[in-house]
Amino acid sequence: MIGSLTPDQEELSRRLYIFLNRDQEKVDRYLQIHGYKINMKAIQEIRDAPSPRKVVEKNAIVRPTDENGFESPVYTVELGCPCCRQKGIEHRELRASALSIKNDAFLAPVYFPIGKSQPLNYLTVAVSVCPRCFFASPDKKDYVQFNRTTRQFVQSQIPPGVISALQDEMAERHALIETSQLEPHFTDCPRALPLAILSYRLANLRARVEAESKNPYALFKQASYATRIALLHRQAGLDDTPELEHALSFFKEAFYRTDFPNANAEFQSCFIIFSILIRFGKFKEARDYISVMEQGKKEVEERKDRTAGAALAQWLGMAKARWEDKDNPQIWEIPH
């Protein structure tokens, strides 16, 4: 998921919190090393180890705790740039169970604090940006990471050929920064909304190069970035129409090319296309996408793919419910 937790990840984080004796630092440590999957041997090793030192954020507005005892919902890990080899790039990871999420009409996440967590619009800091070449991504796997357990560096998941193309596009990223007329203070936490929007535009330049290189799921990433930029525009009181148009274009191309990481992402994208078309008043075309999902039932049943079948039923049901509610202007409002 692109910068936010899915419901499954939230549930897994809650289970880890219990398994690790309600020690949030150990939960964060586990997720940093093993990701969102349950490994009981690894859980036992983390549980038996001394509690890790709390990471102190540098150059950040949001502090680990404030005078009222509220904790920052994020912690910082340092990454390396795969393009220019810059070290010490700050990446803000969301602490498990620190923020709850409500999705907007186009499934972009809106964040709300839980318990003693400080409020933070995580979208403003989700994208990590290299201060030298402005390579940007919300996915730390796109960067060079250091695994403290194995004491080894983990290279970027981006193929070398794509990294070479991204190195050639460095001037375009610099030009985008100059054109924005914003000071690129990407260590700020939270970032100002215009700077957050800029960070996603930089990430989109990276994803565009991936798409041009036929890297899988690049179009899906571009589409997802566009829905997040649209939300940031709404939060800033700006018109989100151009970004929703971009999202619609990217999602449609991804849909036609089946450029998705899994069946759930495919049907979810179909729902977002359907929702944007309703927002734009294109009801006939929107109905076509309901028909596409209904026609997909037979294919899924023939494959006997229960996972895909459950995903299709979920998104088709949501599309039909939204169709019934399409004249209600409140569905386009930012969740609160």
d(CA 34, CA 152): 15
Q: What is the mean pLDDT of residues 304-310?
A: 88
Q: Is 147 in a helix, a strand, or coil?
A: strand
The model's pLDDT over 207-225, given as tens digits with 9 standing for 90+, comes to 999 999 999 999 999 999 9
The model's pLDDT over 19-50, given as tens digits with 9 standing for 90+, comes to 887 777 787 777 767 777 788 877 877 777 75
**Given a cut of 70, is residue 309 above it in pLDDT?**
yes
Residue 53: per-residue pLDDT: 40
Residue 269: per-residue pLDDT: 96
**Given a cut of 90, is residue 14 above it in pLDDT?**
no
Instruction: Tell me the percentage of the chain whose pLDDT exceeds 90.
Output: 72
Residue 56: per-residue pLDDT: 34
Q: What is the mean pLDDT of residues 300-314?
A: 89
Nearest to 90 by CA among 109, 76, 69: 76
